[in-house]
A = this chain, B = another copy of it.
Amino acid sequence: MGPAATLDFYAKLIAATPATREQDHLRVLIDSNPGVPDRNLALAGGAPSPEAAPGPVLADMARGLERAGADLLVMACNTAHAFEADIRRAVAIPFVSIITETADAVRREHPTARRVGLLAAAGCLEAGLYQRALAERGAEPVVAEGALRERFMTLLYRVKLGEVGQGARDEMRAIAEALIDQGAEVMVAACTEVPLVIGQEDLPVPLIDSSAVLARRAVALALAAD
């Protein structure tokens, strides 16, 4: 969805690939389509008009990638996973969920953590994607509510327009710290724009980057299928 988040995911995919020559890299087909209707608007109460529904657009993109020869699909946008069912219905190839993989990584890497903070967009939170995945794994989500959620969304749209400097970093850190103050023992960058502005060095608790988790998993699955 966001081109910068797609670029960041692609960089992580390359970095996660063991290669001793260029030809060892994976073949990667990218459909970077900023024309997918705004996911957060679509999920913000009320049925979106048919032209503003992301599901059919995402399904078309998935079909296009399958037709182009993709063996597996990933989507470097957490919120858009609210429309995962549309994608799965559209194709026969596997779709690897960033939500499932990230929740698994939280559990595997921090088996005793109870309270998990989510740096996630409003639509992702409203769809309950991570809340369900974490609850199924015995963890409790800590999420931004009210004004704090609005602050995240204001920041997210700034980051999407390329604002990734110190101001954005400080603001993202402040939002993360508010969730840590509410008891989060582990934080999840549950929006692929989050790692564009903060990293592990910015937080006093472990940070799981959903984008990096998905990249590593996609590489492992692609290499296993070879």
Measuring CB to CB, which residues of chain A are less than 8 angstroms from any residue of chain B? Answer: 1-4, 7, 10-11, 14, 17, 19-35, 38, 64, 67-69, 157, 160-162
B35/A23 in contact, CB under 8 A:
yes
A22/B7 in contact, CB under 8 A:
no
In this complex, the member of A25, A26, A38 whose beta carbon has the largest number of chain B beta carbons within 10 angstroms is A25
Task: For A38, list chain B residues within 8 Å (CB).
Answer: 22-23
A135 CB to nearest chain B CB (Å):
31
Task: For A160, list chain B residues within 8 Å (CB).
Answer: 21-22
Cα A160 to Cα B20 in complex, Å, equals 9
Q: Which of B7, B28, B34, B69 has a CB less than 8 Å from the CB of A32?
A: B28
Q: Which residue of B lies closest to A20 (CB)?
A: B161
Task: For A7, list chain B residues within 8 Å (CB).
Answer: 7, 10-11, 14
B3/A28 in contact, CB under 8 A:
yes
B30/A28 in contact, CB under 8 A:
yes
Task: For A14, list chain B residues within 8 Å (CB).
Answer: 3-4, 7
Q: Which of B20, B23, B30, B157 has a CB less than 8 Å from the CB of A34?
A: B23
A103 CB to nearest chain B CB (Å):
26
